[in-house]
């Protein structure tokens, strides 16, 4: 049974949404602005206005240190989360990279593994999918197709890039082919073994299983399809009552099939105003709050102070356990005494050896 934890009213229609892998932050695209919330208390930490048209996609790196944004203005921006959190409220931080090589709106983003050293893929209506290096911002690969690209994803090993087209085709691009070419054209008639055919309308989302054997795709033809990547055969088709806008493969939570399972952490209401405090005064919003930089100026213990207090409690408990177990304490003391005796003997031997070398008469 579905459980509604919280109904959150946003400042406007949300065009894209993502959560950081560490679970601390939520990003939402509202018109041309990026909204950043802290999950534990619902505070709105930043509003980023660097795009000129509506946002279309957002994604985090796997270590939550950076996030990428794409919009209808043909730009893909790379943001450093730390810089965004440290910026003054009246100041809009600069993105780390501005990728402006697309000529039509960005439709999808995908980030590989490696944190700030990862590679990222972008898809666009200009019939290209591009692969970038986040650390340097360099363009690594640009693949031209004969249709606009609506979705892009990478497999776990990043050997292949999968691109979903406007006509329902899904293209498999090999990233390890030789010779290496930065600009490549995907010619469908020559790449029959690398095209998934079955959808009758544009492909909106793609996801690869962790073992790299299955591909999940959603489409405006109201179906979700599961494909075997090796044979390009459709294994299963799931029908829906409307266009599919998003679908992805995820590991099932441990309590997913437990009928009594409930969320362990209450989710607060998200603030609609920058650095607002209206949500923090409401009852039932207790939780762990991680404050960084400017947000440490708020009253209450900081994260580091709480961690130090918890460590001291843990250490004192360990000491009490040692005192309570006399036998274990006696064994530990005898081992330490034996080690001290050995160290003293080694120190004396070293001293004697050094003395003999220094006082040895020259020949």
Q: What confidence score (pLDDT) does residue 273 get?
A: 80
* pTM exceeds 0.75: no
User: How long, in residues, is the chain?
Assistant: 363
216 and 320 belong to one structural domain: no
- Give the pLDDT of residue 104: 96
Rounded CA-CA distance 226/237 in Å is 7
Q: Given this model, what pLDDT does residue 298 score? A: 47
Residues 37 and 170 in one domain: yes
For residue 358, is it within any domain?
no
pLDDT in tens, 91-107: 888 999 999 999 999 99
Please indicate, yes or no, whether residues 243 and 311 belong to a single structural domain of this protein. Answer: no
Tell me the chain's radius of gyration from C-alpha atoms: 28
Q: Are residues 206 and 317 in the same domain?
A: no
Take residue 139 and report the two structure tokens written for it: 């363009």
Provide the pLDDT for residue 89: 73
Percent over 70 (pLDDT), the chain: 82
52 and 118 both lie in a single domain: yes
Task: Say which CATH number the domain at 97 has.
Answer: 2.130.10.10
Whether residues 180 and 110 share a domain: the answer is yes
Residue 277, pLDDT score: 44
The answer to whether residue 362 is domain-embedded is no
| 184 shares its domain with 52 | yes
Instruction: Reduce the DSSP state of residue 206 to 3 states and report it.
Output: strand
Q: Give domain status of residue 233, yes or no.
A: yes
| Regions of the chain where pLDDT drops below 50 | 1, 276-298, 322
CB 268 within 8 A of CB 6: yes
Contacts of 363 (CB under 8 A, 6+ apart): none
Choose one of 214, 236, 252: the last residue of a domain.
Answer: 252
Structural domain total, the chain = 2
State which of 252, 272, 290 marks the end of a domain: 252
Do 68 and 172 reside in the same domain of the chain?
yes
Cβ–Cβ < 8 Å for 79, 67: yes
Q: 37: domain range?
A: 14-252
C-alpha distances (whole Å) from 305 to each of 21, 39, 42, 301, 361 are 24, 20, 22, 6, 60
Complete DSSP assignment for 118-152: -EEEEEETTSEEEEEETTT--EEEEEE-SS-EEEE
Q: Is residue 289 part of a domain?
A: no
Q: Which of 221, 252, 283 is the last residue of a domain?
A: 252
Residue 87, Cβ density class (10 Å: 0-12 exposed, 13-18 middle, ≥19 buried): middle
Give the dihedral of Cα atoms 266, 271, 276, 280; nearest 10 deg: -20
Quick one: 61 and 197 in the same domain? yes
């Amino acid at each position: 049974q579905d459980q509604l934890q919280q109904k959150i009213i946003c400042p406007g229609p949300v065009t894209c949404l993502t959560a950081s892998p560490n679970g601390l932050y939520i990003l939402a695209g509202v018109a041309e602005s990026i909204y950043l919330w802290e999950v534990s208390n619902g505070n709105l930490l930043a509003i980023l206005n660097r795009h000129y048209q509506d946002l279309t996609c957002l994604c985090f790196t796997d270590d939550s240190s950076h996030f990428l944004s794409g919009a209808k203005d043909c730009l893909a921006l790379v943001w450093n989360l730390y810089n965004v959190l440290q910026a003054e409220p009246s100041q809009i931080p600069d993105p780390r990279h501005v990728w402006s090589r697309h000529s039509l709106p960005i439709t999808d983003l995908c980030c590989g593994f490696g944190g700030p050293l990862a590679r990222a893929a972008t898809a666009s209506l200009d019939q290209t999918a591009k692969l970038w290096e986040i650390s340097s911002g360099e363009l690594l690969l640009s693949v031209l197709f004969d249709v606009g690209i609506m979705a892009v994803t990478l497999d776990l090993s990043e050997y292949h890039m999968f691109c979903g087209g406007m006509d329902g085709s899904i293209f498999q691009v090999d990233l390890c082919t030789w010779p290496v070419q930065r600009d490549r054209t995907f010619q469908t008639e020559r790449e029959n073994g690398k095209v998934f055919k079955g959808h009758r309308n544009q492909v909106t989302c793609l996801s690869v299983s962790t073992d790299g054997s299955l591909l999940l795709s959603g489409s405006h033809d109201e179906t979700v399809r599961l494909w075997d990547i090796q044979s390009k055969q459709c294994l299963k088709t799931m029908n829906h009552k409307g266009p599919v806008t998003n679908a992805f493969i995820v590991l099932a939570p441990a309590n997913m099939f437990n009928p009594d399972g409930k969320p362990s952490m209450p989710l607060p209401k998200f603030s609609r105003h920058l650095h607002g405090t209206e949500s923090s005064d409401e009852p039932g919003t207790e939780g762990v709050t991680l404050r960084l930089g400017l947000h440490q100026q708020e009253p209450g213990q900081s994260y580091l102070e709480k961690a130090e207090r918890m460590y001291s409690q843990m250490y004192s408990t360990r000491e009490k356990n040692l005192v309570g177990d006399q036998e274990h304490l006696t064994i530990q003391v005898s081992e330490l005494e034996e080690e001290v005796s050995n160290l003293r003997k080694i120190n004396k031997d070293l001293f004697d050896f050094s003395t003999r070398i220094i006082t040895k008469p020259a020949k």
